[in-house]
């Protein structure tokens, strides 16, 4: 994302995010943010820190970051840059994934220690029991898992490639049971999209993201009523995902205009689509990123409730605190990191 000059922050934040975060960007608060951003940039340079921010972060964090993106894309970016220090603005599992990939050569810090409801839905003992019951079974874990769960897994997947990873695992392990965890909505959409998976061989864990689970059928129908010409960009974690997929498959109007996409997939789709208007079926922060990257098109949040309070625990003030005091360093125990890295690498080798 091209950096926005700080003198434009007030107008741009109010123009592109005023409806997302009503009342947040007053003149007084925005000028405080501009001051803090100056100190953040100075310290980041002095400490040779690379700041990265997830698509769901507040606009000011997206603007001070060297790179904005999805969780896996950011980890891969960090690995390529080879910086001695990273300040990762996202949730804890993202910091852990970055640390797992970069290893000892890079220190990873975070402004806070935000959780994630998908990660919290996982019971490690339950995963171990499944592995004991199915000793030749295959465990596929979504990237939204802690390092310990990744270490128990054969493959990691993201919302971009879940169907492809399922296809690969099923093709290379014919007849074996697969445990897909933790998101049941992403799991069922991926099974429907897969070309080879026998759904009766897949055990879906029953976790979900509380932010996306709330995006149900009614929210979609109301959004289509408000914006009848818009395309729908929908994250497969949404509670309405299976219903929406069924309608897409039946060719129901207006669902021919629905596209299941990861957060980065939303950017690429919106750039290349002939449509001018889009409903964004994911967390609010993504709407700011889309409006900034593609100002000539119009983006509507699917619902004003689509806010992840974990993501929003990170603030520019806390990022400054992290750079000043090296407060929260992400560490992953070596044996766990080695096993988790094997599962991530197996995913990365699938094209």
In the window 225-244, what residues touch ligand 13P (CB under 6 A)? 237
Least distance to ligand SF4, CB of residue 235, Å: 9
Among residues 145, 262, 303, 314, the one that binds ligand 13P under rule CB under 6 A: 262
Interaction partner, residue 158 (ligand 13P, ligand SF4, none; CB < 5-8 Å by kind): ligand 13P
Among residues 61, 211, 280, 302, the one that binds ligand SF4 under rule CB under 6 A: 211
Task: Give the CB-nearest residue to ligand 13P.
Answer: 70
In the window 267-286, what residues touch ligand SF4 (CB under 6 A)? 283
Interaction partner, residue 310 (ligand SF4, ligand 13P, none; CB < 5-8 Å by kind): ligand SF4
Q: Which is nearer to ligand SF4, 44 or 143 (CB)?
A: 143
Per-residue binding string, ligand SF4, 221-240, x by CB under 6 A, is --------------------
3-state secondary structure the chain: CCCCCHHHHHHHHHHHHCCCCCCCCCHHHHHHHHHHHHHHHHHHHHCCEEEEEECCCCHHHHHHCCEEECHHHHHHHHHHHCCCEEEEECCHHHHHHHHHHHHHHCEEECCCCCCCHHHHCCCHHHHHHHHHHCCCCEEEEECCCCHHHHHCCCEEECCCCHHHHHHHHHHHCCCCCEEEECEHHHHHHHHHHCCCCCHHHEEECCECCHHHHCCCHHHHHHHHHHCCCCEEEECCCCCCHHHHHHHHHHCCCCHHHEEECCHHHHHHHHHHCCCCEEEEECCCHHHHHHHHHCCCCEEEECCCCCCCCCHHHCCHHHHHHHHHHCCCEECCCHHHHHHHHHHHHHHHCCC
Chain residues binding ligand 13P by CB under 6 A are: 70-71, 143-144, 158-159, 209, 237, 262-263
Q: State the residues that interact with ligand SF4 by CB under 6 A.
A: 91, 116-118, 144, 209, 211-212, 283, 308, 310-311
């Amino acid at each position: 994302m091209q950096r926005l000059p700080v003198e434009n922050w007030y107008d741009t934040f109010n123009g592109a995010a005023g409806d997302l975060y009503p009342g947040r960007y007053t003149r007084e608060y925005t000028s405080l943010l501009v001051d803090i951003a100056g100190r953040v940039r100075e310290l980041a340079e002095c400490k040779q820190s690379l700041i990265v921010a997830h698509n769901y972060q507040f606009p000011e964090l997206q603007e001070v970051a060297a790179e904005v993106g999805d969780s896996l894309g950011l980890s891969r970016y960090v690995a390529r840059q080879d910086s001695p220090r990273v300040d990762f603005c996202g949730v804890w599992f993202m910091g852990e994934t970055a640390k797992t990939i970069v290893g000892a050569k890079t220190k990873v810090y975070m402004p806070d220690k935000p959780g994630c409801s998908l990660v919290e839905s996982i019971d490690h003992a339950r995963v171990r029991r499944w592995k004991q019951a199915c000793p030749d079974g295959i465990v596929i874990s979504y990237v939204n898992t802690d390092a310990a769960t990744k270490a128990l897994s054969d493959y990691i997947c993201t919302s971009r490639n879940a169907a492809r990873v399922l296809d690969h695992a099923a093709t290379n392990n014919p007849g074996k049971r697969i445990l897909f965890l933790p998101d049941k909505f992403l799991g069922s959409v991926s099974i429907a999209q897969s070309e080879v998976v026998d759904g009766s061989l897949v055990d879906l864990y029953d976790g979900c993201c509380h932010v996306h689970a709330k995006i149900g059928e009614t929210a979609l129908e109301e959004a289509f009523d408000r914006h009848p010409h818009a395309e729908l960009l929908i994250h497969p974690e949404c509670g309405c995902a299976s219903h929406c997929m069924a309608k897409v498959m039946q060719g129901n109007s207006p669902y021919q205009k629905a596209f299941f996409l990861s957060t980065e997939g939303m950017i690429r789709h919106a750039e290349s689509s002939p449509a001018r208007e889009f409903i964004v079926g994911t967390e609010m922060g993504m709407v700011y990123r889309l409006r900034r990257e593609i100002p000539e098109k119009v983006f509507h949040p699917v619902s004003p409730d689509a806010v992840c309070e974990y993501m929003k625990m990170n603030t520019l003030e806390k990022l400054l605190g992290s750079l000043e005091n090296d407060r929260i360093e992400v560490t992953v125990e070596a044996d766990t990191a080695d096993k988790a890295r094997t599962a991530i690498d197996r995913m990365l080798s699938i094209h």
